[in-house]
Structure 1
Amino acid sequence: MHGPTSPGWLLVALCAATGAYCLLRMRSRLEEQRRAAGGEALMGFAMAVMALPATVVEPPRWAWIAYAVVFGTVAVRTLATARGSAHHLHHLVGAFAMAYMAAAMAAGGRHGHGGGTAPVTGVLLAYFAGYVLWSGVRLVPVAAPAAGGGVGGRAVGWGDRPELALACRLAMAMAMLAMLLAV
């Protein structure tokens, strides 16, 4: 992506740390948690690579095309499973946003959208801004589970804590906002 180098490195660090935490969440006892954490780890690491400052590495056009194809495929696959699940719909929007940004970069995105914001970028910015606000509001009142509470009467492991998963998604949504602003 393009933009100042220091914020770019901060974005890389945030996305890589989020991806690493999501890998750790894959140790959950719950199958749905593991699946969601795996998808979020992929997204976090892919966002970290995509956010590398252009002054450090300028990926060739074919790399952006490959990114667009991979995340377009993820979006189509997610579309098939997204019915009835708000979380899967969020993954669908995230995969579409990644494919869209990669396609913009493959089309010469380092020069912007010709002086204006593309309507798709505006819609994605509005979605992720709303998601950040919604997630932040949901994160504030979450209380720690009572001792001995949790899934099936067992204590909730740190990988199964819903507030940590929500914080992970919030961090990635904020990173997505920053990346969309740089497209």
Structure 2
Amino acid sequence: MHGPASSGWLLVVLCAAAGAYCLRRMRSGVEAQRRAAGGEALMGFGMAAMAVPAAVFTPPSWAWPAYALVFGAAALHALWAARAGAHHLHHLMGALAMVYMAAVMAVSPQGHGGHGGAGVPLVTGALLLYFAGYVLLSGVRLVPAGGGGETVGWGDRPELARACRLSMGIAMVTMLLTL
């Protein structure tokens, strides 16, 4: 992605840490945690790889179509899984955003080269609005509702899963802004 290298590296670390935690959640004893964790781990690691500053590493030309293919498959999986729950619609939006960013980078490795500086393209703007709303809603959901007290494993803590989703939502907004 484009932008300052320091913010790129922060995104890499944030997304890789979220991906690693999601991998840990895949070993959870709670089935609902395991179901969502695989897609979220893929998203975290994919975002980390995509956020590596362009000044440090420029992916080969075949990498962007490969990203689009992987996240296109993830989008189809999320669409199929959305029959069972609304959270998979968010996975669908995330996967489609990754396909879109990969397509933009494949066409113009310098970013939005095709819009002539006339502002933010419509798709980018729509994705920014969606993910900004998601970040705000996720932030509100982090506010404790009381109760609790029981001891659970790291992979079973819903507040950590919500914090990871919030982090990846913030990272997605940042990546869309620097596209």
Quick check: 1:26–1:37 contact (8 Å CA) kept in 2?
A: yes
Select 2:136's aligned residue among 133, 137, 143: 133
SS where residue 61 of structure 1 aligns?
coil
- Determine the structure 2 residue equivalent to 1:114: 116
CA gap of 1:142–1:13, structure 2 versus 1, over 3 A, is farther
Aligned ranges 1:82-161 → 2 under 5 Å: 82-83=82-83, 85-112=85-112, 113-115=115-117, 116-143=119-146, 145-147=148-150, 155-161=151-157
Q: What's the TM-score, normalizing by structure 2?
A: 0.93
Task: Tell me which moved more, 32-41 or 116-125.
Answer: 32-41
Give 1:159's aligned amino acid.
G
Q: Mind listing any 5+ residue stretches in structure 2 that lack a counterpart? A: none
Q: How well do the aligned residues superpose, as a CA RMSD in angstroms?
A: 1.4
Spell out, residue by residue over 1:32-71, the C-alpha distance to the aligned partner (whole angstroms, 9 max, x if none).
Answer: 3112111111110110000000001011221001101111
- Determine the structure 2 residue equivalent to 1:20: 20
Spell out, residue by residue over 1:112-165, the C-alpha distance to the aligned partner (whole angstroms, 9 max, x if none).
Answer: 243121111101000000000001011012436123xxxxxxx43221111111
Identity %: 68
- Determine the structure 2 residue equivalent to 1:152: none
SS where residue 110 of structure 1 aligns?
coil
- Structure 2 CA distance, aligned partners of 1:168 and 1:61? 30
Instruction: Count how many residue pairs are aligned between Structure 1 and Structure 2.
Output: 176
